[in-house]
Homo-oligomer: A and B are copies of this chain.
């Protein structure tokens, strides 16, 4: 029960230079995907796909994670059977300083507002 090795299954990621703002905004314009990113940011660590309990099937969950990865918002890596997901905060901050925090803050404000707080 040592820490599980990173699998050789490779997942295509855009390089930092390939990340496009419109792609990031499109990825985050879906509530399900914004929810994933918010949870990831709140934890501040990598999370497995199965950690998320989304109101959609697993196929659809896989789809959303792929969109987030291909737009450059997440990095994904297999560890054993789990696929770990992490925010690409450094890359996003490097390209668009402050944007991620701003978006997360905006999402938090809207969530608080709509929850009748």
Contact = CB atoms under 8 A, between A and B. Distances in A.
Interface of A: 20-23, 25-26, 28-31, 34, 95-99, 102-103, 105-107, 109-110, 113
Contacts of A107: 21
Tell me the number of copies of this protein: 2
A23 B25 CA distance: 10
Given A26-B29, A29-B26, A21 B106 contact: yes
A51 to B, nearest CB: 23
Given A22-B31, A29-B29, A106 B96 contact: yes
Contacts of A97: 105
Contacts of A23: 29
B102 A98 contact: yes
Contacts of A21: 34, 106-107, 110
